[in-house]
Chains A and B, each alone.
Chain A
Amino acid sequence: MLQKLTQWSRLKSPWILHLNTGACNACDIEVVAALTPRFDVERFGILLEGTPRHADVIICTGPATRQMKDRLIRVYEQAPDPKFVMAVGACAMSGCVYRGAYNILGGIDQLIPVDVYVPGCPIRPDALIEGVVKLLDKIKQGTR
């Protein structure tokens, strides 16, 4: 019963943490655009949280830089289980144009497990919303 309730609340209102691991800010602007009234994902219950301790979904933008390595892992460990990670933008998926630079380790998936990849440079807010919907489908089906 309680499990059903938590699952229902998780699906109906995923709380997200927006984390920039070294992006150029284009993806961050688009993530914020998805939250503001034009696209308004808050009507689906998606709420931006300021701390990983309250978040279900970590939205990572930007490649994994060497400086962010320990910090990214710490933020991931701070989020309560079950936690889900979305790699948003081409940089977070593979490193994109920064790939191979001496201070870049590659995509987010080199450091923490990733559930959903959202491609785009930068992503469109529509793509982000579709990514969240696909993540929720995965949670509903129990494949994650």
Chain B
Amino acid sequence: MNDQALIAKINEGLKDKVVAITSPAPRRIFFKVTTDNLLTAVSWLRQELGITHLSTISGVDLGQSFELLYHFANNYCAITLRAEIPRDQPVLPSICEVIPGAILYERELQDMFGIVVQNIPDGRPLVLPDDWPAGNYPLRKDWKYERPPEVIPGGKS
């Protein structure tokens, strides 16, 4: 199977659900879907192409919106699924019912970007400290961190 055949297969299988599809490098395919079709696209990838390995989910703060990139991989190539959600309404469907291992990445997304993942089986905080103040999302570009002043034990010499 080559890239062109794979792109044709994705276009054929998901039809108008694919917003844009590109292949910037050999064995690398990016395609974009809307968030409503995200779960459908992931389950299609799993059932029809047999892709079960989700490498990671990465998030990008684009200013007005957040872009989520679901990096899937199989023996032949890496397929990245892109989805964009507005910043003022950051709601995302969970893909845990298709890929159960995605829960760690989704919990991290909730922690670091403040994205609300719907239907997540267990939405507790994952990576941030226990006493982290609510409403602080470190990977948002507009988040500012005030470093607490350090003390020098015994004073400066």
B138 interfacial contact with A, CB 8 Å = yes
**What is the chain B residue whose CB lies nearest that of A68?**
B129
A95-136 at interface with B (beta carbon < 8 Å): 100, 102-103, 105-106, 109-110, 113-114
Name the one of B132, B150, B153 contacting A113, with C-beta atoms under 8 angstroms.
B153
A52 to B33 Cα, complex, angstroms: 54
Q: Is the CB of B151 within 8 A of A67?
A: no
Query: How many whole Å from B96's CB to the nearest CB in chain A?
Result: 25
Q: Is the CB of A102 within 8 A of B145?
A: yes
Range class of the B interface residue count: 10 to 19
Q: How would residues 141 to 157 of chain B score, 1 for a CB under 8 Å from any chain A CB and 0 otherwise?
A: 00001011011010000
B19 interfacial contact with A, CB 8 Å = no
Residues of A within 8 A of B128 (CB): 103
B130 interfacial contact with A, CB 8 Å = yes
A66 interfacial contact with B, CB 8 Å = yes
Residues of A within 8 A of B148 (CB): 105
A65 interfacial contact with B, CB 8 Å = yes
A105 to B132 Cα, complex, angstroms: 13
Residues of A within 8 A of B147 (CB): 100
Q: Is the CB of B129 within 8 A of A67?
A: yes
Residues of A within 8 A of B129 (CB): 65-67, 103
B131 interfacial contact with A, CB 8 Å = yes
Q: Is the CB of A102 within 8 A of B153?
A: no
Q: Is the CB of B151 within 8 A of A66?
A: no
A91 to B90 Cα, complex, angstroms: 37
A100 to B153 Cα, complex, angstroms: 18
12 extra interchain contacts, Cβ-Cβ under 8 A, other than A110-B150, A114-B153? A65-B129, A66-B129, A67-B129, A67-B130, A100-B147, A102-B138, A102-B145, A103-B128, A103-B129, A105-B148, A106-B150, A110-B151
Binding site for B on A (CB under 8 A): 65-67, 69, 100, 102-103, 105-106, 109-110, 113-114
